[in-house]
Amino acid sequence: VEASIPEPQREAWLKHQVSGFKDKDGFESEVVRHVETTLARSMFNCDESAAYSACSLAFRDRLILEWNRTQQRQTFADSKRLYYLSLEFLMGRALDNAMLNIGEKDTAKAGLADLGFRIEDVIEQEHDAALGNGGLGRLAACFLDSLASLNYPAWGYGLRYRYGIFKQEIIDGYQVEVPDYWLDFNPWEFPRHDVTVDIQFFGNVRKSTDENGRTVAHWEGGEIVKAVAYDVPIPGYATPSTNNLRLWSSTAASGEFDFQKFNNGDYESSVADQQRAETISAVLYPNDNLERGKELRLKQQYFWVAASLYDIVRRFKKSKRPWKEFPDQVAIQLNDTHPTLAVVELQRILLDLEGLEWDEAWNIVTNTFGYTNHTVLPEALEKWSVPLIQHLLPRHLQIIYDINLYFLQSVERRFPDERELLGRVSIIEESQPKMVRMAHLAIVGSHKVNGVAELHSDLIKTTIFKDFVTIFGPDKFTNVTNGITPRRWLHQANPRLSELISSKAGGKDFLTDLNELNKIELHVKDKAFRKEWADIKLANKQRLAKHIKASAGVTVDPTALFDVQVKRIHEYKRQQLNIFGVIHRYLTLKAMSPEERKKQQPRVSIFGGKAAPGYWMAKQIIHLINSVGKVVNNDEDIGDLLKVVFLEDYNVSKAEIIIPASDISEHISTAGTEASGTSNMKFVLNGGLIIGTCDGANIEITREIGENNIFLFGNLAEDVEDLRHAHTYGSHEIDPDLNRVFQEIEKGTFGSTQDFAALISAVRDHGDYYLVSDDFHSYIETQALVDEAYRNQEEWITKCITSVARMGFFSSDRCINEYAEGIWNIEPLRVEKEEGA
């Protein structure tokens, strides 16, 4: 690396090499320097917010130096890189993570104390980077952590939204959305005003013939929007490797304003042009598992994909390799179908701009891409109308049609007698208007397609992508079960548990090799260990109880059973089943004598999660939860036996408080609907048990921890179709206990009955698509088993310790290694570990 500096200047450069702070004293001096110079504040009026900024800048300096070295190492090694394309990166806070991954949190803690600050208060100042909706975006963030920690050469590419997922307020029991403007002061990004790409939209296609008689397409006219790169350093844990997340921001192409218009006095319209360009990266679409086909969303997708590919191709071309080596240097992973236009864009670059022949170009394209499917829900499968693509991206539509033509021709040659097959697998749906099926395009354009948990990967092969298995063979389809990073979700969120585990597992190796957790199972009978384990859980519950009091105004008893369901609000995730169950519990308690009540297990039912702003039913569920809480929490007969809490604005940093405090968490989706789920893994890793359906990763969690350590209930995925059919065509008897719950709601016990009518009639009158009634009895019975099991605290703690010990499989490190080996064909770059890291 040093040899890259020209000899005459080398000495000067090396003499002044920057290294960032080295110890507590150095850290303090950097903090003070940043307060006084970078922030231009006097050290005598440095508040917690300034301390956060200065502390972050001190750590950022360390990160960016390692980032530089990592990029140089990768360039010199010239090995294959992975590019992870995701419209969502749900990063949460960066400071705590940077301190822990660099291994200098203790230094910072002591240094901040010297300067008059508590590190917890400083960490609390940071605004979450919430550029995602839920599981899909958080998975991308866990993957970045693992890629860096495992020293893989990898970049993330995304959009720099000015507004992340909205902030949720609960007003009179209803969700209210408030914009999340998070960029006021963001020390974690580096604007690269020199790294820009012009992105074209609209216009038309002219064809010409070149000297070899080959038809060449020229995409002309339309408008140009400029993409500007913002880089976010991603530190690996206990390694100097620091990868890059590049986020694109949109701005008007010709400087600030169109000067022509400006000078003509058309000031307003030149400002409007600027604003229109900036609109592209302005806001994250707040839908989870739902696609609504909005033009601006398609613009976002193309803007981000085109900028990223230009960047990737530019980097590849510097190596002066022949094009056929592109897939040996570049792997691109499509995080769901959102970046599928990348397939078309790369084909366009190779064909129209680089002059390759179709087949040669297509070979390169299909060997480059991998596609991850995250959902089978029909309303989430992306389709774009042909007229919209024609208007926005005329050349891309032609290429999509050509891809489809060659694909269907090959299918027809191999399956000449199956006429319906062509229509089923076509990339174009012959509807009115015609639609482009993005999943079909992603499958045809990739060399591997994977699901995110075993059941899910089986389901896509046997249902939505069945025909493609026939066409491409089973080897193209594979499973990579999701994982989570133990750094954030154990070490950072639950430092005391992490410490206790390291004392019994022979050090911190479990943080980089999660299978090491199994060593703690040997200590399951150790009294002192169990006592400390229980103390930690109680302390985490006390912390959450404080948060509940402060944010929801409800007093809860930290020794009660904490029952948690936090995730996006969605009918398929069945928060309605949970709240109906809570009402059933309330009615049961009410019907008991005071003596009988005394024997019951006290519970706190904790909910959290956002509803998409346009998802009316989800908003009604939130309203019902809050309405039930209002009644139950103020009922003197009930007291501490049951409390119902809805926690406002669930996000990554709140998850870090909530998850370690859970006794039982709910993962109760209708079987076959939740592709994986990842919070289920986080809860178990933090010593909580789960109640769940046989769905997504719950199944593999059961396989790993043993069925005695999980509370499974409900119908199986294989029975769902028949049950739904029976609801529609047979008679649909509602579970009698559930009927009693409905009657109570309809009596007005929880307020205005009108609001909740739709939740009831979805079950009673509209086919109960999510099988709430079918699973109700089994759910209630299983909850009773949970109460019983919790009463035996010794048994319960044994279950918790045993489960944690067996969770090694669910590290995102395992998951990333599977992708690297089976899909990306990339290898880690060896780096010498720094001393003390």
Stretch that binds ligand KOT, among 133-141, 352-360, 486-494, 752-760 (CB under 6 A): 133-141
Query: Which is nearer to ligand KOT, 135 or 327 (by Cβ)?
Result: 135
483 binds ligand KOT (CB under 6 A): no
Query: Which is nearer to ligand KOT, 139 or 330 (by Cβ)?
Result: 139
Question: 348 catalytic, yes or no?
Answer: no
Query: Which is nearer to ligand KOT, 58 or 771 (by Cβ)?
Result: 771
Q: Supply 818's token pair.
A: 């599977």
C-alpha to C-alpha distance for 184 and 177, rounded to whole angstroms: 19
399 binds ligand KOT (CB under 6 A): no
- The CB-of-103 to ligand KOT minimum distance in angstroms stands at 29
Angle (nearest 5°) at CA 342 between 154 and 430: 145
Q: Supply 630's token pair.
A: 């209002």
Residues 6+ apart with CB under 8 A from 355: none
Identify whether 433 is preceded by a cis peptide bond (ω within 30 of 0). yes
Contact between residue 770 and residue 678 where contact means Cβ atoms under 8 Å apart? no
C-alpha to C-alpha distance for 768 and 770, rounded to whole angstroms: 5
Chain centre to alpha carbon of residue 151: 21
Q: Report the residue from 53, 270, 289, 446 that binds ligand KOT according to the rule CB under 6 A.
A: 289
Burial of 423 from C-beta contacts in 10 A (0-12 / 13-18 / 19+) = exposed
Q: What is the DSSP letter of 380?
A: G
Number of residues interacting with ligand KOT: please give it, by CB under 6 A: 20
- The CB-of-692 to ligand KOT minimum distance in angstroms stands at 12
Question: 207 catalytic, yes or no?
Answer: no
Give the other-Cβ count within 10 Å of 357's Cβ. Answer: 11
Q: Supply 76's token pair.
A: 């010199």
687 binds ligand KOT (CB under 6 A): no
Please identify which of the residues 567, 574, 667, 806 carries the catalytic annotation: 567
Q: What is the DSSP letter of 484?
A: B
655 binds ligand KOT (CB under 6 A): no
- The CB-of-30 to ligand KOT minimum distance in angstroms stands at 38
- The CB-of-630 to ligand KOT minimum distance in angstroms stands at 30
Residues numbered 198 to 227 that lie near ligand KOT (CB under 6 A) are none
Is the C-alpha dihedral spanning 771, 776, 781, 786 positive or negative? positive
Query: For the sheet containing 428-429, what is the strand order?
Result: 383-385, 435-437, 428-429
133 binds ligand KOT (CB under 6 A): yes
575 binds ligand KOT (CB under 6 A): no
Contact between residue 522 and residue 806 where contact means Cβ atoms under 8 Å apart? no
Question: 337 catalytic, yes or no?
Answer: no
- The CB-of-289 to ligand KOT minimum distance in angstroms stands at 5
Residues numbered 666 to 685 that lie near ligand KOT (CB under 6 A) are 674-678
C-alpha to C-alpha distance for 827 and 837, rounded to whole angstroms: 22
- The CB-of-699 to ligand KOT minimum distance in angstroms stands at 13
375 binds ligand KOT (CB under 6 A): yes
Question: 753 catalytic, yes or no?
Answer: no
Stretch that binds ligand KOT, among 230-238, 284-292, 434-442, 727-735 (CB under 6 A): 284-292
Residues 6+ apart with CB under 8 A from 593: none
Amino acid at 223: E
Q: What is the DSSP letter of 834?
A: P
- The CB-of-88 to ligand KOT minimum distance in angstroms stands at 7
Contact between residue 696 and residue 675 where contact means Cβ atoms under 8 Å apart? yes
Identify whether 602 is preceded by a cis peptide bond (ω within 30 of 0). no
Question: 374 catalytic, yes or no?
Answer: yes
Please identify which of the residues 24, 374, 584, 643 carries the catalytic annotation: 374
Query: Which is nearer to ligand KOT, 348 or 682 (by Cβ)?
Result: 682
- The CB-of-672 to ligand KOT minimum distance in angstroms stands at 11
C-alpha to C-alpha distance for 32 and 475, rounded to whole angstroms: 58
Please identify which of the residues 573, 585, 603, 667 carries the catalytic annotation: 573
Contact between residue 790 and residue 601 where contact means Cβ atoms under 8 Å apart? yes
- The CB-of-580 to ligand KOT minimum distance in angstroms stands at 22
60 binds ligand KOT (CB under 6 A): no
Question: 573 catalytic, yes or no?
Answer: yes
How many residues are there in the chain?
Answer: 837
709 binds ligand KOT (CB under 6 A): no
DSSP assignment string, 72-87: HHHHHHT--EEEEE-S
Q: Report the residue from 189, 288, 656, 700 that binds ligand KOT according to the rule CB under 6 A.
A: 288
Contact between residue 119 and residue 27 where contact means Cβ atoms under 8 Å apart? no
Query: Which is nearer to ligand KOT, 287 or 715 (by Cβ)?
Result: 287
Stretch that binds ligand KOT, among 31-39, 99-107, 129-137, 192-200 (CB under 6 A): 129-137
Q: Supply 390's token pair.
A: 């024609």
What 3-state class would DSSP assign to 101?
A: helix
Q: Report the residue from 93, 299, 374, 806 that binds ligand KOT according to the rule CB under 6 A.
A: 374
Query: Which is nearer to ligand KOT, 125 or 482 (by Cβ)?
Result: 482
Q: Report the residue from 228, 298, 307, 452 that binds ligand KOT according to the rule CB under 6 A.
A: 452
Binding mask 244-273 for ligand KOT (x = CB under 6 A): ------------------------------
Stretch that binds ligand KOT, among 47-55, 172-180, 374-382, 638-646 (CB under 6 A): 374-382
Please name every residue paired with 484 in a beta bridge, in sequence order, or none if there are none: 811
- The CB-of-772 to ligand KOT minimum distance in angstroms stands at 19
Nearest to 625 by CA among 641, 607, 613: 607
C-alpha to C-alpha distance for 616 and 613, rounded to whole angstroms: 8
Q: Report the residue from 39, 217, 380, 831 that binds ligand KOT according to the rule CB under 6 A.
A: 380
Query: Which is nearer to ligand KOT, 394 or 677 (by Cβ)?
Result: 677
Residues that bind ligand KOT (CB under 6 A): 133, 135-136, 139, 287-289, 291, 336, 374-375, 380, 452, 482, 674-678, 696
Active site residues: 374, 567-568, 573, 678, 682
